Amino acid sequence: MLVLLLILLPVVFVLFNLLLDEKQAKNISLAGSLTTLVAGLYAFYQFSIHPSCSCFVYHTDWIRGLGADFYIKADGINIILVLLTVLLVPFIIQSAHGREIKNPKSYFSLILIMQSALLGVFLAKDALLFYVFWELALIPIYLICLIFGGDGRQRITFKFFIFTLFGSLFMLLAIIFLWLHNPLRTFSIYDFYKVSLLLTAQQQLFVFMAFYLAFAIKIPIFPLHTWQPDTYVNAPTQGTMLLSGIMLKMGAFALIIWLIPIVPLGWQLASKYVILLSVISVVYGSLMALTQHNFKRMLAYSSLGHVGLIAAGIFSWNLQGVQGALYQMLSHGINVVALFFICDIIFNRMKTDTMQKLGGIRNVSRIFSVLFLIALLGSVAMPLTNGFVGEFLLIHGVFQYNTVMAVFAGLTVILGALYMLRAYQHMMHGETNILTETFGEITLNEKVLLLCFAGLIIFFGIFPNTILHVSEEPVKQLIEQVHNATTMTVKHSNF
Amino acid sequence: MKELLLLSGLGILSLIAEILNVRKLIYLLVISGLFLNIGLCLHDLGNNELVYGMLKLDNTSLAFTILFSFVAILWFTMAKSFFTDETNLSDHFSLVLFSLVGVFILTSYTHLSMLFLGVEILSIPVYVLAGSDKRNIYSNEAAFKYFLLGAFASGFLLLGITFIYGAIGSFNILQISASSIVSTGLSQKLLAVGFVLILFAFAFKMSAVPFHFWAPDVYSGAPTVITAYMSTIVKIGAVAGFFRLFVVAVSSYSKFDFYSGYTGILLLIAILTITVGNVIAASQSNVKRLLAYSSIGHAGFIILGVAMLSPSTNYVVWYYLLAYSLSSLASFWVLLVVSQNDNSEDISIFNGLVKRNPVLAGTMTIALLSMAGIPPLAGFFAKYFVLLNVLEKGYILIAVIAILSSLIGVYYYFRIIIAMFTGIEETKTGIKISGFDKLVLMLISVILLFVGLAPDFIFGLIFR
C-alpha cells in the first residue's frame, strides 16, 4: 500500500490545488511534494531494513480480458529512482519561489501530476501500466513547456512531443509483440523475462530495436537527441529541471529493467553498436558543450554527455557499470537541477545567460560563488563529490567491456572539467562589469536551497554505500539472469 | 420490443406536441425517455428477445443501443439551442427521434428488409436535418448532396439484398448464415456480389474511402449540431448495422473462395480510410472540416476492428465507438460554442481559448488527446484494442501504417491544442457558457478518463 500512497499523494494535493486559492498554489504543492518526500524517505528507510515487506507491493486486476494488472512494486533498483524523484520535486517547486509565474495553479498542479506519473513509471511492473505512465508523464511536461516556455515554443515543444511519441509507439508495438508470444497472456515483467526463452535471436533483435528507439529518444542518445537542447533552453526553469533531472532517467532506468533482461540475445547482438552510439553521444555532447556561449545551452549539451556515459555503462552490463549507472542517475539528477537553478538565479538577475557578458560575480556575492563551485565540482566528478562515485564506477564498467570505448568515454571527465571551469571562470572570475555589479546578494531562499544541494552532493560523495548496498543484490541477480540466458543459447547453438 | 415502442412513441409524441400544447415539456420528456431506454436495455440484457423474427435483441445490439441512447442524451444537451430557437421545434425533435429508431433497428435486425428499413429511417430524417439551416446555401447543398448520394447508396444496398436473396432464397441473416453449412445449389458468385454491394452501401454510410467524397462537404455545410449528430450517432448506426451483417452472416462463409477476396476489399477500405482521412485532415484549416476528415480516419480504425474478426470484436468495436463518439461530441460542442461566438470556423478562433474559457479549452484538450490516442484516455485503449487484434492476426505492416497515420493525427489535433494554449486571441472577450453545460462538459472529460483507466468496469456493466 505504501507504494500506492506514493503515487496517489501528489494527485491528492492537485485536488487541493484546484479547490483552493490561486495564491496558495505554490505552498500547497510544496506541502504535497514534502509529504511525498517524507513517505518516500520512509519507504527507502524501510526498504533498507527489510526489503521483503508486503507494503512494497500493490497488485490488483486492471483489464482482466487482456491480463493487464495494476501491479506496482518497489525493488532495490527502482527505489533509488523513487528516492531521486521525491527528493528533487520539492526543490524544483521551491526554486520557483519569488519568480513570476503566470498561472501558478495549473503550473504547480502539472508539476505534481508529472511527479505522480514519474513515480508510476519507476514502480510499474506491468508492461501496459508502464506504458500508460510513460505516456502520462509526457502530457504535463509538454503542457508546462508549451504554456510557460519561451519564444518559438510551439515548434520546439511540438518537435519534442512528436519525437517521444514516435518512439513510444514502437515500444507499444514491441510490448504487444511480447504479449502475443507470452503463453500466459499477461503483461507482468517477470513473465516477460521468461518470454525471451521462447524467442529467436532475430525476434529479440526486433524487440530490442523497438524498445531502444523509445528509450534512446527519451535519454537522449545521439543521433536521436536533436529535440533536447532547444527544449531545455526553451522550457521554463522548473520544466528543464524536471526534464533533465528526472525525466531522462526514465529512459536509462527502462534500459536496465525493461530492455536488456527482456531481450538478452537482442542485447548481445546489438551491444557493440549501442555502446558505440552512447560513447559518440558522450564525446559529441562534451564537444558541443565546449563551443557554447549560452550557459543553459551548455548545460543541456553537458547533460547529453553525462547520460551518454550512463547508457554506455548500462549496455556494458556488469556490476560496476549498472551500479554506477544507478548511482550516477541519482547524482546527475541532483547536480543538474542545482546547476539549472544557478543558471536561473543568474538569468533572473542579469537577464542574460551568455557567459561572455558576465564576469566577476564572485566579487559581488561570495557565498553564491562557493555554492556554485560545489555544484560544479559535483558535475565534473571531483573526488568526495557524488559525481565521482558514479562516473568512476561507470568508466570502470565500460573498461571491462572494451578498453578503447572506456578511453573515449573517459573524455567526459576531462572535457567536463574543461567546459565547466571555463564557464565558471567567465562568469564568476575577472572584473565585474556594469551588468554584474547589479548582481547583489542572493536571497535567503536561494541560499538555503543551494546549501541543501551542496550538502547532498557531499553527503552522497562520502557515503555512497547508503545507496549502493540497496541495489547490489537485485542488480547482481539481473546480470546473472541475462548471463544465463545468453550462455545457454550459445551452448544450444554449439550443440 | 419495448425499446422500439418507446423510441417511436417519443417521436410521435413530439410530432403532436404542438397540438397537445406541451412544447415546453417535450425536451424533458425526450431526455427522460432516453434514460428510460437505457434502463430498459440494461434490464433486457441476456433475454435475447425475438421480435416477430424481424429483430433480435441480443446483448451486442442492446450494448449498441445503450451507447447511442447515452450519446443521444449528451447530444440533446449540447443541441439545446437548436431546439429553442422557436422555429420548427417539434419537427426537429421528431426527426431526430425517428432517426434514432432507425439506428435501433440497425443494431438489432435479423431480416434484411429491416436492414433496409433501418438505413432509410436513419437517413431520411438526417437528409432533412442537414438542410435545416434553410437560409444557408451550404446547408442546402449539404442536404442535396447527401440525399442524392445517399439514395445511390440505398440502391446498392437494395441490389445487394436482392442478389443475396437470389443466391439463398431467404432474407433472414440467421438462415443466410445457416446456408453456409448446407451449401448445395448455392450460387457463390451471386452471393459474393451481393455481400460486396452491401459492403459498398455501408462504406458510404460510414464515410469510408473511396466512398467518402460527400462527407467533408456535408459535414461542413450542415449546422454544427447536425454534423455532430452525423459523426456520432449516424456512425454508430452504420457501424452496428455492418457489424451485425459481417459477424452473423458474412463470416460464416469463411471457408468459401470469395471470402478472402471480400476481407481483402474490407482491409483495403480500412487502410485507405485511415491514411486518406488523416492525411487530408492534416492540411485543413477549417476546424469543422478537420474534424470531418478526422472522423473519416476513425471510421477506418473501426472498420479495421470489425475486419479483424475475433471473439472480442464486439467489445473492441463498441469501446472504440464509445471513446470516439464521446470525444467527437465534446470537440463539436466546443467548436459550436466558440464558432457561434466568433462567427467563424477557422482554426484561429481557438487562439488563446484557455484565457477566454478554461473549461472549454480543457474539455477540448482532453477530447483531442483522446482522439489522438494518448494514454490513459479512452481513445488510446480503443486504438490499442484494435491494434492488438491486428497484430494477433499477424498483419504487422497494417499495424505500422495505422500507427504512423495516428501520428499524423497527433499533428493536426495538436495544432488546435497549441492554438488554444499559446495563440494570441483576436477578441479578448471571454466566452460564457451556462453552469449546466460546464458541468456536462467536465463530466464528458471525466468519463473519457475513467473509461480509459477502467475499461473492465464498463465491460462488466454492459457485457455481463
Judge whether A209 is closer than 8 Å to chain B, CB to CB.
Answer: no
Q: Nearest Cα to A468, choosing from A46, A34, A77, A21?
A: A77
Task: Give residue for cell 480516419.
Answer: B297
Contacts of B454 in chain A (CB under 8 A): 62
Scan residues 112-131 of A and list those with Cβ closer than 8 Å to B: 131
Is residue A110 within 8 A of residue A42, CB to CB? The reply is no
Strand partners for B109: B55
A153/B375 touch (CB, cutoff 8 Å), yes or no: no
Q: At what angle do helices A403-428 and A264-290 cross, to 10 degrees?
A: 30
Contact A146 B422 (CB under 8 A): yes
**What distance in Å separates the CA atoms of residue B413 and residue B287, rounded to the nearest whole number?**
10
Residues 6 or more apart whose CB falls under 8 angstroms from that of B436 comprise B77
- Residue A258 forms contact with B (CB below 8 Å): no
Sort out which chain B residues have CB atoms less than 8 A from A136's CB and list them: 375-376
Contact B421 A146 (CB under 8 A): yes
Instruction: Report chain B residues whose CB lies below 8 A from the CB of A135.
Output: 374-376, 380
CA distance A94 to A92: 6
pTM of the full structure: 0.89
Cα(B159)–Cα(B239) distance, integer angstroms: 20
Instruction: Assign 3-class secondary structure to A65-88.
Output: HHCEEEEEECCCCHHHHHHHHHHH
Q: CA torsion angle for B128, B133, B138, B144 (degrees, to 10)? A: 10
* Rounded Cα distance, A139 and A144, in Å: 9
User: What's the complex ipTM?
Assistant: 0.83
**Omega prior to A223 cis, within 30 of 0:** yes
Three-class SS state of B298: helix
Residue A68's beta-bridge partner residues? A63
Instruction: Give the number of other CB atoms < 10 A from CB of residue A128.
Output: 26
Whether residue B399 and residue A154 make contact (CB cut-off 8 A), yes or no, is no
Q: Residue A176 is nearest to which of B376, B391, B459, comparing CB atoms?
A: B391
Give the bridge partners for A58, in sequence order: A72
Q: What are the residues of chain B with a beta carbon less than 8 Å away from any beta carbon of chain A?
A: 312, 315, 354, 369, 374-376, 380, 384, 387-388, 391-392, 399-400, 403, 406-407, 410-411, 414, 417-418, 421-422, 454-456, 459
Q: What is the rounded CA–CA span in Å between residue A137 and residue A165?
A: 11
Report, in this order, helix, strand and coil percent for chain B, each rounded to 5.
Answer: 80, 0, 20
Residue B88: all three cell numbers together? 420548427
Which three three-digit cell numbers place residue A467?
Answer: 545507496
Quote the CA–CA distance of A214 and A164 in Å, as a whole number.
Answer: 7
- Residue B387 to residue A176, Cβ atoms within 8 A: yes
Q: Which of B355, B405, B422 to mutate to test the interface with A (most CBs of A within 10 A)?
A: B422
pLDDT along chain B (464 residues), means of 10: 88 81 79 92 85 87 92 90 67 88 93 92 91 84 90 92 88 86 76 91 89 87 90 92 90 85 92 92 88 90 90 88 93 90 84 85 92 88 89 87 88 88 75 86 91 83 72
Contact: B407, A165; criterion CB under 8 Å: yes
Helix (H, G, I), strand (E, B) or coil at B172: strand
**Pairwise CB contact (< 8 Å): A154 & B418:** yes
CB contact under 8 A, B422 and A154: yes
Contact A232, A296 (CB under 8 A): yes
What is the chain B residue with the closest CA to A117?
B376
Position B464, amino acid: R
Gap from B73 CA to chain A (nearest CA, Å): 28
Which single residue is written with the C-alpha cell 551542496? A454
Query: Residue B49 pairs with which residues in a beta bridge?
Result: B57
Per the structure block, which three cell numbers stand in for B300?
A: 477506418
Instruction: Show the cell assigned to B429.
Output: 472577450
**Measuring CA to CA, which residue among B243, B250, B375, B389 is closest to residue B318?**
B243
- Distance CA(A57)–CA(A71), nearest Å, equals 8
Helices A465-494/A264-290 angle, 10° precision: 130
Which residues are bridge partners to A69 per DSSP?
A: A61
For residues B156 and B198, is the Cβ–Cβ distance under 8 A?
yes
Residues of A in contact with B411 (CB under 8 A): 162
Residue A494 confidence (pLDDT): 46
B53: left (phi over 0), alpha (psi -120 to 50) or beta: left
A206/B contact by beta carbon, under 8 A: no
Which among B384, B388, B410 is the nearest to A165, CB-wise? Answer: B410
Using CA atoms, how far apart are residues A303 and A420, in angstroms rounded to an integer? 12
- Side-chain-facing half-sphere of B383: CA atoms under 13 Å: 28
- A315, exposed or middle or buried, with CB in 10 Å at 0-12, 13-18, 19+? buried
Q: Decide: helix, strand or coil at residue B51.
A: strand
Are A279 and A402 a contacting pair, CB within 8 Å?
Answer: no
Task: Please list every residue in chain A whose beta carbon sits closer than 8 Å to the beta carbon of residue B400.
Answer: 173
B312, B391, B456: residue with CB nearest A177: B391
Say yes or no: A139 contacts chain B, CB-CB below 8 A.
yes
Nearest to B414 by CA among A163, A391, A359, A122: A163
In chain A, how long is the greatest CA-to-CA distance?
77
Which residues of chain A carry a pLDDT beneath 50?
494-495
A143 interaction partners in chain B (CB closer than 8 Å):
421
Q: Which residues does chain A have within 8 Å of residue B422's beta carbon, measured at their own beta carbons?
A: 146-147, 153-154
The distance of A210 to chain B (nearest Cα, Å) reads 12
Distance, in Å, from the CA atom of A112 to the CA atom of B453, rounded to the nearest integer, reads: 19
